[in-house]
Amino acid sequence: MVSSKALCFFVLFSFSAIALQSAFADHEEDVGLVMNFYKDTCPQAEEIIREQVKLLYKRHKNTAFSWLRNIFHDCAVQSCDASLLLDSTRRELSEKETDRSFGLRNFRYLDTIKEAVERECPGVVSCADILVLSGRDGVVAVMNQPLGGPYIPLKTGRRDGRRSRAEILEQYLPDHNESISSVLDKFGAMGIDTPGVVALLGAHSVGRTHCVKLVHRLYPEVDPALHPDHVEHMLHKCPDAIPDPKAVQYVRNDRGTPMILDNNYYRNILDNKGLLQVDHQLANDKRTKSYVKKMAKSQDYWASEFSRALTILTENNPLTGTQGEIRKQCNVVNKHH
């Protein structure tokens, strides 16, 4: 008896749920993020992006590092909504011009990809999806050379936000010297667990860090935690306590394999050759150390955790359906709203 009553209730409930859903569908369907979102509206989209990434990467290797870093800086700040790409306006300072975004570069190559996609399907593919997919395809290009890294299948259907907000950025993006507790909290709020955080920081196995982010570990006293050989190298690259803002002075994140996204980062930080304070802490905090050791030993374990965590990061709180817009140009919002 009870079960038939429950069943009846369930059926009624489902009907009304379906009715509600179709009422929404009449207006505009919001399927959220799905695999191959553009299969009907722009079937070549992912292929165009992949081809552009390959082409641009061949010419400018470090553009792949920028695309990867973009995923962090866009998705971790509230939403993967390409707000990172917006220029400052008279009213608002853009995210990319803040101190935490220091060193972000190569945005023009992202514009090149957007232009290629627009030529094929104007006004269809969001900058937010292009940002995420170029990062993903960049990973394939730089990981595990010469074979290429794991292909991480990612959903699409993100839409572009209409605001870039420098003022909230620090709540979301950890600083170079932030405590591990705070780093774990910030990533945890996005659903990324401790091994996921450890794996993502493996991105610091490529690219560079400017002296402005490092000099506090060298001057007035050298941080005693740093490996002496590394100190020598860092002092050579960053000879001034206050770096000349016009000179491009930096240290490569991974001296061993600077152009390859691999697990060498973990061996570096265990060897006290991590550049940032967070890198160093990661290898020394009791919550993260065991994962660092495991990832230092196994490229496969690291790569699978990296893929898992990057997927979660790219799905952080997206705009979908009719939210936001499809920007025509990635650095400015569309007019007439």
Catalytic residues: 73
What DSSP state is assigned to residue 88? P
Residue 329, classed as helix, strand or coil, is strand
Determine the residue with CB nearest ligand NAG: 177
Q: Which does 318 bind (CB under 5 to 8 A by kind): ligand HEM, ligand NAG, none?
A: none
Site for ligand HEM in 237-296 (CB under 6 A): 276, 278
CA dihedral sign, ordered 169, 170, 173, 176: positive
Half-sphere exposure of 122 (CA within 13 A, CB side): 1
Residue of 105, 165, 230, 255 interacting with ligand HEM (CB under 6 A): 105
**Which is closer to ligand NAG, CB of 41 or CB of 177?**
177
Residue of 45, 201, 330, 333 interacting with ligand HEM (CB under 6 A): 201
**Which is closer to ligand NAG, CB of 29 or CB of 244?**
244
Residue of 10, 15, 24, 102 interacting with ligand HEM (CB under 6 A): 102
* Among 88-96, 101-109, 147-155, 240-248, the segment contacting ligand HEM (CB under 6 A): 101-109
Residue 210, classed as helix, strand or coil, is strand
Residue of 210, 237, 273, 280 interacting with ligand HEM (CB under 6 A): 210
Under a CB-based contact definition with an 8 Å cutoff, are residues 318 and 165 in contact?
Answer: no
How far apart are CB 100 and ligand HEM at their closest, in Å? 8
Range 188-192 contact pairs with CB under 8 angstroms and sequence separation of 24 or more: 190/75, 190/76, 190/312, 190/313, 190/316, 190/317, 191/312, 191/316, 192/309, 192/312, 192/313
What DSSP state is assigned to residue 217? G
Place of tokens 């170079």: 176
Residues that bind ligand NAG (CB under 6 A): 175, 177
User: Backbone dihedral region of 93: left (phi > 0), alpha (psi from -120 to 50 degrees) or beta?
Assistant: beta
- Both tokens of 181, joined, read 């507790």
| Chain CA centroid to CA 29, Å | 28
**Which is closer to ligand NAG, CB of 281 or CB of 314?**
281
141 binds ligand HEM (CB under 6 A): no
68 binds ligand HEM (CB under 6 A): yes
Q: Which does 177 bind (CB under 5 to 8 A by kind): ligand HEM, ligand NAG, none?
A: ligand NAG
The set of residues, in sequence order, having a beta carbon less than 8 Å from that of 173 and lying 6+ positions away, is 72, 73, 76, 77, 100, 186
Binding residues for Ca(2+): 74, 77, 81, 83, 95, 254, 257, 262
Binding site for ligand HEM (CB under 6 A): 62, 65-66, 68-69, 71-72, 102-103, 105, 174-176, 183, 200-201, 203-204, 206-210, 213, 276, 278
Binding residues for substrate: 174
Binding residues: 74, 77, 81, 83, 95, 174, 204, 254, 257, 262
